[in-house]
């Protein structure tokens, strides 16, 4: 089934209630939540907007180009009572993608959560209209890797995100033309990064660095290059 | 009608220009990103069009012709898609002098024939799939951008 995401028109999105705490927060129960050994999920989970009744969560679909009717999303997976069926559905990449977007949108630690979630949905819709589109729009592992990264580093400015030819997330923080920090989030928990920055001793020259690191040590790896100064708030 | 492919493989002169179709997923908020210059799986070269080969009188006419080509070749030209124009000599020099491995890009004419003929089609060769740094370098040489949709 081909469909288009329509973000922001949800009819039954739970209202924000910042007073609720603890047990009502969403729980990360992904079977593949650990991208690599040693990954500490608890360390990166930030508080999310509490959802009083998970079954109230709905996204609506908008028809893709050339399709006439809209129809309610695959949804309802929160409504399933049968845990086996729910697990099956979580295996579905489409459902995982929805859940990740929901988690981005409700993560209190991400100040730009709304705009970021909208951007992700726009990317998915744009990807689905591409000539040679396959998959679900964004590589789920890549988006999860990116989400883990911004949960680990909550004081980052909102990056510009685009999709690589493999539908992976590519995030860039750019200050004018000569100062760039870009990260390609791979589905396996790795990242490939690029840094361009002015050479302080030779202002007409540029320092260019590229490398690979797992998401959890990325910021530590690039810290010596002063990246924090221009990507954090 | 048969297509004369004898010009296939010709090197595009340094003073000429090439245009790259950038998909909406690579152009957030109208700003072309380095992802527009990354190879997809199985690609040997980055597809571009040779502007001067179109033999138009000015850049605007070349862009109009490119839009015609895209609309014939693609099922849909996205509303946010853009055309990035770079100078051949500038991009080759930039990548040669600023990439860690002094990469020598080759920009070759690669006319396509099929259901839609694309005689100005060309390719940037000597790229690899994990070339984020080179994609960022190419991005820095983009001097002109235009909407890809008519």
Q: Nearest residue of B to residue A168 by CA position? A: B35
User: Which residue is associated with the tokens 């883990």?
Assistant: A148
Domain that holds residue B35: 17-147
Lowest-confidence segment of A199-208, B26-35, B56-65, B138-147 by average pLDDT: A199-208
Q: Nearest residue of B to residue A177 by CA position? A: B140
Q: What is the dihedral of CA A169, A175, A179, A182, to 10 degrees?
A: -10
Continuous H helices in chain B: 59-73, 88-98, 132-140
In a domain, B5, yes or no: no
Q: What is the pLDDT of residue A44?
A: 53
CB of A86 within 8 Å of a chain B CB? The answer is no
Rounded Cα–Cα distance for residues A91 and A157 (Å): 32
Percent of all residues in chain B with a pLDDT value above 90, rounded to a whole number: 82
Lowest-confidence segment of A87-101, A124-138, A152-166, B13-27 by average pLDDT: A87-101
Q: Nearest residue of B to residue A162 by CA position? A: B26
Write the ipTM: 0.93
CB of B114 within 8 Å of a chain A CB? The answer is no
Encode pLDDT of B30-78 as tens digits. Answer: 999 999 999 998 999 999 999 999 999 999 999 999 999 999 988 889 8
In a domain, B8, yes or no: no
Encode pLDDT of B4-17 as tens digits. Answer: 565 788 999 999 99
Percent of all residues in chain A with a pLDDT value above 70, rounded to a whole number: 61
Expressed in angstroms, the distance from the first to the final Cα of chain B is: 27
Rounded Cα–Cα distance for residues A188 and A146 (Å): 11
In a domain, B81, yes or no: yes
B-chain CB neighbours of A67 within 8 Å are none
User: Which of A:7-36 have CB within 8 Å of B?
Assistant: none
The number of folded domains in chain B is 1
Quote the distance between the C-alpha of residue A163 and its chain's center: 12
Contacts of A76 (CB under 8 A, 6+ apart): none
Residue A59 backbone zone (phi > 0: left; psi -120 to 50: alpha; other: beta): beta
Q: Using the beta-carbon criterion (under 8 Å), do B28 and A130 form an inter-chain contact?
A: no
Listed in order, strand segments (DSSP E) in A4-124 are 4-6, 60-62
Residue range A183-204: average pLDDT? 93
Q: What is the pLDDT of residue A176?
A: 77
pTM of the model: 0.79
Q: What is the pLDDT of residue A20?
A: 41
- Residue B73's nearest CA partner among B119, B26, B41, B27 is B119
In a domain, B9, yes or no: no
In a domain, B80, yes or no: yes
A47 phi and psi angles, rounded to 5 deg: -65, 145
CB of A192 within 8 Å of a chain B CB? The answer is yes
Chain A, chain B: beta-carbon pairs less than 8 Å apart? 71
Average pLDDT of chain A, as a whole number: 74
Encode pLDDT of A18-54 as tens digits. Answer: 344 333 333 334 444 555 555 554 555 566 665 544 4
CB of B134 within 8 Å of a chain A CB? The answer is no
Longest CA pairwise span in chain A (Å): 64
A-chain CB neighbours of B27 within 8 Å are 162
């Amino acid at each position: 089934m081909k469909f288009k995401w329509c973000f922001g028109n949800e009819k039954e999105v739970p209202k924000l209630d910042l007073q609720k705490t603890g047990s009502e927060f969403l729980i990360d129960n992904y079977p593949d939540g650990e991208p690599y050994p040693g990954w500490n999920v608890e360390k990166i989970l930030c508080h999310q907007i509490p959802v009083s009744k998970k079954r109230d969560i709905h996204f609506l679909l908008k028809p893709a180009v050339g399709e006439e009717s809209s129809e309610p999303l695959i949804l309802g997976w929160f409504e399933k009572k049968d845990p086996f069926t729910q697990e099956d559905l979580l295996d579905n990449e489409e459902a995982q993608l929805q859940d990740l977007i929901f988690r981005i949108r409700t993560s209190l630690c991400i100040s730009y959560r709304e705009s970021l979630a909208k951007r992700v949905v726009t990317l998915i819709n744009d990807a689905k209209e591409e000539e040679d589109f396959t998959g679900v729009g964004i590589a789920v592992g890549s988006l999860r890797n990116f989400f883990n990264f911004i949960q680990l580093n909550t004081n980052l400015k909102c990056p510009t995100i685009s999709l690589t030819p493999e539908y992976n997330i590519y995030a860039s923080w750019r200050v004018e033309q000569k100062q760039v920090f870009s990260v390609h989030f791979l589905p396996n928990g790795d990242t490939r990064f690029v840094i361009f920055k002015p050479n302080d001793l030779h202002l007409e020259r540029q320092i260019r660095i590229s490398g690979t690191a797992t998401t959890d040590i990325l910021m530590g790896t690039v810290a010596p290059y002063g990246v924090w100064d221009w990507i954090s708030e | 009608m048969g297509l004369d492919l004898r010009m296939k493989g010709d090197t595009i002169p340094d003073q000429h220009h090439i245009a790259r179709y950038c998909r909406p997923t690579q152009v957030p908020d109208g700003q072309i990103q380095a992802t527009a210059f990354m190879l997809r799986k199985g690609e040997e070269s980055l597809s571009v069009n040779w502007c001067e080969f179109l033999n138009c009188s000015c850049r605007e006419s070349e862009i109009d012709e490119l839009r015609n080509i895209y609309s014939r070749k693609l099922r849909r030209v996205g509303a946010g898609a853009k055309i990035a124009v770079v100078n051949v000599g500038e991009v080759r020099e930039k990548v040669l002098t600023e990439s860690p491995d002094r990469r020598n890009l080759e920009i070759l004419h690669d006319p396509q024939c099929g259901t839609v003929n694309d005689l100005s089609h060309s390719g940037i060769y000597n790229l690899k799939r994990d070339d984020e740094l080179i994609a960022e370098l190419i991005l820095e040489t983009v001097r002109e951008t235009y909407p890809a949709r008519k």
